[in-house]
């Protein structure tokens, strides 16, 4: 298992821990098998000098080293490990099985994480009602609110961490399964389902997903399945394409004199962010 796959699997399993949710049994078995076979393949080659030690021990006991089970085991292991590509083949097969198990359970996994995501989002809504438009790192004014403000702030901070962890797990699952290649431009769509007007107003193109900022700006927080994410991307991109066409058509009309310059609309503000 290469370092990238290992890191992705670690992030996926960590997300189950962060959300206190149970990993599907079939997936847990596949990941355990992949880890076991990876470790076995990496330790297939005997330690330096091990064959010599075994041969010496056989001679000391008056046995024929060629017929000694331990010597034979070590020689066979050396030959297997020396077969270039065999360890990688073993690891690759185990990783592919884990990848397939993740892919088959992807919707189930995301749906499970979505429950924890929705709970965290509800916590942010409650915190917003209590704290108002303050940023969570503005702790002094928050604490001056008194009452339960400190507890509400702590709950909101925890909720943000939970959402961030789920978002990271979602990205890792998409990448590991190869079911989806998340777009950097559409990162906000992994945590929210904004309208096109919100997309333009808050300049969400290529924006880093910030759960609290999304809450403050009124973006509806929700964790999409991979199919739902594709739908969000397609919807936003379709609106962008239409807006570009309108801007280009207006620019052409002005250029050829179909519209006087005085009629140029400030709505062309969208052109600046398209």
Helix (H, G, I), strand (E, B) or coil at 208: coil
Of 3-12, 109-118, 240-249, the range with the lowest mean pLDDT is 240-249
Q: Is the pLDDT of residue 107 over 80?
A: yes
The DSSP call for residue 178 is T
Query: Residue 68: what pLDDT?
Result: 87
pLDDT in tens, 183-207: 899 999 999 999 999 999 999 999 9
Q: Is the pLDDT of residue 96 over 60?
A: yes
Residue 96: how many CA atoms within 13 Å on its side-chain side? Answer: 6
Query: Residue 258: what pLDDT?
Result: 65
Sign of the C-alpha dihedral, residues 255, 261, 264, 270? positive
Query: Residue 93: what pLDDT?
Result: 86
* Structural domain boundaries in the chain: 3-104, 107-238
The DSSP call for residue 272 is G
- Residue 155 contacts residue 127 (beta carbons within 8 Å): yes
pLDDT in tens, 122-167: 999 999 999 999 999 999 999 999 999 999 999 999 999 999 999 9
Q: Is the pLDDT of residue 3 over 80?
A: no
Query: Residue 174: what pLDDT?
Result: 96
Of 57-61, 118-122, 255-259, the range with the lowest mean pLDDT is 255-259
Task: Name the band, by pLDDT with cuts 50, 70 and 90, for residue 267.
Answer: very low
Position with higher pLDDT, 151 vs 49:
151
Tokens of 104: 């088959």
Predicted model pTM: 0.77
- Residue 170 contacts residue 209 (beta carbons within 8 Å): no
Task: Name the band, by pLDDT with cuts 50, 70 and 90, for residue 272.
Answer: very low
Position with higher pLDDT, 39 vs 220:
220
């Amino acid at each position: 298992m290469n370092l990238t796959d290992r890191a992705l699997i670690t992030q996926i399993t960590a997300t189950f821990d962060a959300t206190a949710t149970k990993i599907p049994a079939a997936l847990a078995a596949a990941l355990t098998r992949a880890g076991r076979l990876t470790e076995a393949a990496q330790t297939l080659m005997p330690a330096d000098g091990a064959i010599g030690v075994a041969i010496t021990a056989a001679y000391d006991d008056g046995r024929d080293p060629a017929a000694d089970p331990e010597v034979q085991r070590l020689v066979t292991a050396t030959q297997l490990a020396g077969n270039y590509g065999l360890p990688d083949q073993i690891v690759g097969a185990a990783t592919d099985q884990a990848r397939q198990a993740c892919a088959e359970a992807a919707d189930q996994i995301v749906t499970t994480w979505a429950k924890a995501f929705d709970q965290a989002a509800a916590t942010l809504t409650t915190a917003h009602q209590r704290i108002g438009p303050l940023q969570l790192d503005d702790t002094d004014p928050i604490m001056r609110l008194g009452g339960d403000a400190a507890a509400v702030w702590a709950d909101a901070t925890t909720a943000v961490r939970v959402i961030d962890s789920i978002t990271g797990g979602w990205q890792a699952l998409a990448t590991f399964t190869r079911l989806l290649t998340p777009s950097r431009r559409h990162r906000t769509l992994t945590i929210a389902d904004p309208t096109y007007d919100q997309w333009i107003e808050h300049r969400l193109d290529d924006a880093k997903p910030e759960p609290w900022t999304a809450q403050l700006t009124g973006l509806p927080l929700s964790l999409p399945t991979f199919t739902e994410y594709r739908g969000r991307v397609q919807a936003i991109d379709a609106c962008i394409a239409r807006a570009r066409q309108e801007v280009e058509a207006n620019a052409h009309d002005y250029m050829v004199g179909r519209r006087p310059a005085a009629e140029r609309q400030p709505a062309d503000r969208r052109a600046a962010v398209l």
